[in-house]
Structures are given as structure tokens and as C-alpha cells.
Amino acid sequence: MFDPRDYDELLQITDVVRNQVDLKETPSIGIICGSGLGDIGDCIKEPQVLSYKKIPGFPSTSVVGHKGNMIFGYLGGKYVVCMQGRFHPYEHGMDLALCATPVRVMHQLGIKTLIVSNAAGGVNPAFNYGDLMVIKDHIFMPGLCGFSPLVGINDPRFGPRFVSIHDAYDINLRRLALTVAQEENIRIQEGIYVMCGGPQYESPAEVMYFKTVGADALGMSTCHEVTVARQCGIRVFGFSLITNIANTDADNSVEVTHEEVLVAAKEAGFRACSFVTKIIERIE
């Protein structure tokens, strides 16, 4: 059984990955595709595709809309590695360290920048279905409740015991993304992302609660990956695709379904892809 807190096992996994692909160069950027946003992986040029099934320690992705491939190739003129499918803590017994292992593997492979994407419910009343939101900061609910990927004995080779999250979402990358969106005529927002444990969607009262504390979008992913990335010293850019509007009124509530989340992501696939490509083109 793979122990995500064992650094030597991480090195072994990384070796297995390296031995199965013919790396053209060191990937400088890692990408994690959110629910239904796997199109980003399909935009990669000269792709080499490694199924998660061939990576020891990697669990399978059980959520519809997550393919389960690690893809190496070129995007926006840079050599990247892309996780086409992510591990959600709700799928894997809330083992956040396990779910964030792909970030550690990508770090071992050499990435300096991580781009994370997700599908999320909009809480900010100014948001529309289909909007993209640059993540400015987050509220990591499981992390605040003791479910952090950094809990447990910390091998110092992973990074520091105490990690500062004060600047998790790189301000220069956020500015670059807002500029790119403006130039490309892509409707863009910026806001606070909340990670809930899921897999149930939030009740109207819970949505109201998060709205009150300053949330703009709600999802069930991303923060564990960002926390681990920051422990490794990787700079992060994150964005959400608003796939549904979370509702706050129990008397007039509307059901949220994963099907509508996937439809919205599919509709936005091309936009998300060109957004990410243009950002990567301009990353230093």
C-alpha cells in the first residue's frame, strides 16, 4: 500500500513515470484539469499520454468528467505536464496527502509553476453561469478542520513543517491572467474560492454562510493541491469555471446536478483552453 507521507516512495513513483515517457525537456509548468475541463489536456501538442493505471500509488479517478491521464507535451510554446483528472478527497477517504501526490510528483519532475482549474458553484451575485474566475485566495474548509495534506510526520525533504499561505495565488500570474482575459474578450471575475468536503452539494443555509464570510465560488477540490504546491515552493495560478449558481433560499431552491456541471464545463472547454494557452505563452 502506497504511503503518501513516505518521501522515498514519492521518488520511486517519479522514477516509474520518467521511465515510461520520453521527456523532451524538463516540464516547467504543471496543469491540473477540473471537472469537465479535460479539454485543456487535449490541446497539448506532441502529447505523450501516461494512464494513471501505469503509475504505482495513483488511485483511479472515479468522477465522471475526469479521464485519468498524465500528459506531457507543448502548450503555449512551453513544455508542460498535465493531470487530466484529479483526485478529490471525497473519493479517497479524505486522504488529502494521497490526493495531492500528483503535485509532489510534478515537483520532482521539475515544474516551477502550477495551474489549477476547477468547476465551482457561483456565490457572488454578480457571477453568471459560464464565467471564469481567477482565484485570489481561498478558504480551505477541510484544512481548517484538521484534514490538511500536511498533517502527520513531516519529512523535511517535502518542505517546511509550517507553510505560509499568505500569498498562495501569485499576484503577478493573477494580473497576467486578467490582462489576457481582457485582451481575448473573455468574461472574467476574480474572487475567493471555498473548498468544501463534499460530495453533497451545499445546502442553501451553507451557501448563505459562505456568502457572509466573503466567498465567491464553492467547490470540492484544489486547496489541498495548492497547499502542497506552496510547501514545495511552486508558484500557483488557479481559476474556477462557474458551472452553476449556488442558491441561498430554501423556499425557492434549485437542485444542482453533476450533469449540469459537466455541460457548463463542456461549453466552456474551448474558452478555458485558449485562456490557459495564452497565459502560458506569456509566463516568464
Q: Which residues bind ligand NOS (CB under 6 A)?
A: 35, 63, 88, 118-121, 196, 198, 201-202, 218-221, 243-244, 246, 256, 258, 261
Considering 83, 91, 169, 265, which one is annotated as catalytic? 91
As measured in angstroms, the least distance from the Cβ of 199 to ligand NOS is: 7
Task: Kindly state the greatest CA–CA separation across the chain.
Answer: 57
- The Cα 44–Cα 81 span in angstroms is 9
Q: How many CB atoms lie within 10 A of CB 266?
A: 15
Q: Please return the burial class of 93, using the count of CB atoms within 10 Å of its CB with bins 0-12, 13-18 and 19+.
A: exposed
Chain-centroid distance of CA 200 in Å reads 19
Cβ closest to ligand NOS, residue 256 vs residue 283 = 256
Closer to ligand NOS by Cβ: residue 224 or 278: 224
Question: Is 258 annotated in the active site?
Answer: yes
Active site residue 35: yes
Q: Which of 90, 169, 193, 201 is catalytic?
A: 90
CB of 138 to ligand NOS, least distance (A): 13
CB of 18 to ligand NOS, least distance (A): 30
User: Is 220 considered catalytic here?
Assistant: yes
In the set 221, 225, 265, 272, the catalytic residue is: 221
Residue 244 a catalytic site member: yes
Least distance (Å) from ligand NOS to the CB of residue 283?
25
- Paired with 191 in beta bridges are 135
> What's the rounded Cα separation, in Å, for the pair 67 and 148?
25
Distance CA 55, CA 47 (A): 17
Out of 83, 97, 106, 119, which one is annotated catalytic? 119
What are residue 112's DSSP bridge partners?
none
Q: State yes or no: cis peptide before 199, omega within 30 of 0.
A: yes
In the complex, the smallest distance separating the C-beta of residue 120 from ligand NOS, rounded to whole angstroms, is 5
Identity of the residue, 101 or 222, whose beta carbon is nearer to ligand NOS in the bound complex? 222
Catalytic residue among 88, 107, 138, 224: 88
For residue 32 the three cell numbers come to 491540473
Select 231 or 247, whichever has its Cβ closest to ligand NOS.
247
Q: Based on CB atoms, which residue is closest to ligand NOS, 7 or 209?
A: 209
Question: Is 92 an annotated catalytic residue?
Answer: no
Q: Which three cell numbers stand for residue 182?
A: 481582457
Give Cα separations from 194 to 27, 142, 211, 224, 229 (angstroms): 29, 10, 10, 11, 17
Assess whether 66 carries a catalytic annotation.
yes
Q: Is the dihedral of CA 148, 64, 103, 137 positive or negative?
A: negative
* Positions marked active-site: 35, 66, 88, 90-91, 119, 220-221, 244, 258
